[in-house]
Structure formats: structure tokens, C-alpha cells
Amino acid sequence: MTRAALARPSLSRPLRRVAAGLLAVAVVGSMSACGTGKDWVDEGLNPSGNGQFATIGSLQAQNVTLVQGPPGSKSLTLVARLFNTGATPDALVGANLGTAPGTDAKITNSAVPIVPGPEAASVGFNSTDFVNFYSVDVPTASYVPVTLKFKDAGQTTLQVLVVPPAGYYEGIAPTPPAA
């Protein structure tokens, strides 16, 4: 190269800086808009890990999880919080695992009342209401279809995670135990 060519400033360096700056602005701008809009909270996603959510009419089932019973018991306990945003009482009157015959739940007192208002009906945790499945062999960390049946609202089916009775779920077991 000649001495004159070395002394002349290169146009490619400033152009590269401008291009990098424009690229950074475009990336930041596109990323900042991904969570906007009225439905940005759920975007159709289900909760990962513990707890599924469902709305059926004026009822909401939240944090629906299945907890395995003691080793060898082949039992599951449903854990959930049930809310009623309507004006009339309803009740959880049945549950089963998918559509398989013989997988109906045993519900304490045959139904779980769900009264209107801000208080939730707790099932399986800090509650006297239990929804238990017996004679089922479901592996930990699998998702199984659970159909919840309500007196007036109808029914809904969720894919529910099966967790061991450890950590947060320690002490949760079928009550009463299978006879």
C-alpha cells in the first residue's frame, strides 16, 4: 500500500459502527414489545411444574396437582384451590383420571362445597376436604388427564403433574386411607 492510502481514513469502520448500532436498536425494540397487549400475561401458556389452572363458568381451579401417597399405596391425592366468582354456590362432585373406568375419586363427604366470594375451597392441603384416587399406579413427574366434575358448572379436563410427597407436599396423603 502507498503512504497516501494508509493516511486516508477508511469508510468501512464508521459504516460497521452504524450498522451495529442499528442492529442493537432493532433487537432491543423487538424484544421490548413481546410482552405487551391485553393478553400478554398468559399467551396461552400453561404453568410449568406444579399446578394447573382452569376456568369453567364462574369457577376457577388453581394449582391443581396430584400428590403420590405413601410408598406401595398406589394412591394419589388431588391438591387444589377452588374459587367461585359467581352468585350461586356450586360443588366439586366428582373427579376421575382421564376416561379410564375404575379411576373415580373418593371425595370426603361426597362433595366439596364452593361458595361464592373471595375465599377458596382448599382440597387436600390445609383442609378437611380430600379427593383421593386408589388402586392407581402412576409414576412421579408424569402428567395425567384429570376430569373435574362440578354440580352446576359442568366438567373440565386438565393435564396434571404427579409429584412425590416431599418438600412442599410432605405430609399430604390420602385421608381417609384406603380401607
Handedness of CA 81, 86, 91, 97 (dihedral sign): negative
Q: Is the pTM of this model over 0.75?
A: no
Domains and CATH numbers, the chain: 52-166 (2.60.40.1890)
CA–CA gap between residue 12 and residue 17 (Å, rounded): 9
Residue 154 — φ and ψ, nearest 5°?
105, -145
The pLDDT profile of the chain, 179 residues, written as one tens digit per residue, is: 555 555 555 556 666 676 666 666 555 555 554 544 444 444 455 555 568 999 999 999 999 999 999 998 999 999 999 999 999 999 999 999 976 667 899 999 899 999 999 999 999 988 999 999 999 989 999 999 999 999 999 999 999 999 999 998 999 988 766 65
CA–CA gap between residue 97 and residue 160 (Å, rounded): 10
